[in-house]
Amino acid sequence: MMPTKTKKTVSIILSLLIFLLIIGVGVKYRTELFKTLQSVNLIWVFSGLFCYLVNYLARAKRIQTYSDNTLQLFPDTLRITTLHGFASYFLPMRSGDLSLPALLKFYHDLPLAQGSRILLRARFMDVLSLGILLSAAAIFSAPQLKLEWRLLFLGTGVSFIGFPYLFILLTRWKKEWFVKLSRKIRPDNGKQLSYPKGKELLYSLVIWFWTGCTTFCVIRSLDIPLTFLDVWFFAAIQLPLQLLPIQGLANSGNHEAGWLTALKLLEIAPPNAMAVTLASHLILIGYVLLLGAFGALLSTGISCRRSTKMTESKKNLIS
């Protein structure tokens, strides 16, 4: 087997190669890309930014719930989710998603095991929520979608819905491997993993609703004739790509593959599909940069206040 250090080196090299490849594609289509960016509807772009920020506010509320309300929504979990979202998007090979336990440990001294369980639970609910929305979209939208693709998306949605329940069921199996797995991911109170609850499902559906709103706004800003329900096909196509360990910096490669595939399947690919796809990627990168800046401001402001309090405490002790 390949040593861990070698695997990391190979992953970094692949990530850089994918990133450079997308940069090269951008240079090749630079004329079309500039024209597309010049014609972007800014009202839709800023509407998308609003939806993107509301999405992370909902994510912060979910993390607060998973912490048993030991953390405050502002600034605690809002800071954690914004920094986590920034890291997840920009770091290569899906490594950024694993930053959530580390952030919870660094800022709030939550054990890494607890942070990992929070991350796992959130991802389960994401898969379940996307499955519900995808199933609904497969039934009610995209009349131009071929029957075989519609059935495939419906089957994918149903499998997404069933996956969290099946996984939790397996952790309750008495086989040795499943018992070990259950011990690693069970809640801190030592009880078995619970099946998805209505409240947390509602939070996750709200998160994915605003994620869909963000994608829809970006689509409309580029004058692509898609309905709101069609957005879930975009999400369904991109999710498997997001789970792949091969990903370039700033989601390069995965974004382009997902968008081009979705446009092709929905049979609405514009003549300048590559330029549109690259423009949508740049818009989303702008959103993530603003998100990271907001998280950094929250962290800086809190650090300054803590330093001031510590200085005042020392002065009081001296006096």
Other CB atoms within 10 A of residue 280 CB: 23
Distance CA 255, CA 277 (A): 8
Q: For every one of its 319 residues, what pLDDT tens digit does the chain have, with 9 covering 90 and above?
A: 556 667 677 778 888 899 999 999 999 999 999 999 999 999 999 999 999 999 999 999 999 999 888 899 988 999 999 999 999 999 877 788 889 999 999 998 999 988 998 998 898 899 899 889 888 888 886 677 788 888 888 998 899 999 989 888 887 776 666 666 666 666 655 567 788 888 889 999 999 999 989 999 999 999 988 888 778 777 777 666 665 666 788 889 888 988 888 888 777 777 789 999 999 999 999 999 999 999 999 887 655 455 444 444 444 444 4
pLDDT of amino acid 315 = 45
What pLDDT score does 215 carry? Answer: 92
Q: What is the pTM of this model?
A: 0.88
Q: Secondary structure of the chain in the HEC alphabet?
A: CCCHHHHHHHHHHHHHHHHHHHHHHHHHCHHHHHHHHHCCCHHHHHHHHHHHHHHHHHHHHHHHHHCCCCCCHHHHHHHHHHHHHHHHHHCCCCHHHHHHHHHHHHHHCCCHHHHHHHHHHHHHHHHHHHHHHHHHHHHHCCCCCCHHHHHHHHHHHHHHHHHHHHHHHHHCCCCHHHHHHHHHHCCCCCCCCCCCCHHHHHHHHHHHHHHHHHHHHHHHHCCCCCCCCCHHHHHHHHHHHHHCCCCCHHHCCHHHHHHHHHHHHCCCCCCCHHHHHHHHHHHHHHHHHHHHHHHHHHHHHHHHHHHHHHHHHHHHHHC
- Supply the pLDDT for residue 314: 41
Q: What was the pLDDT predicted at 54?
A: 97
* Per-residue confidence (pLDDT) for residue 178, from 0 to 100: 64
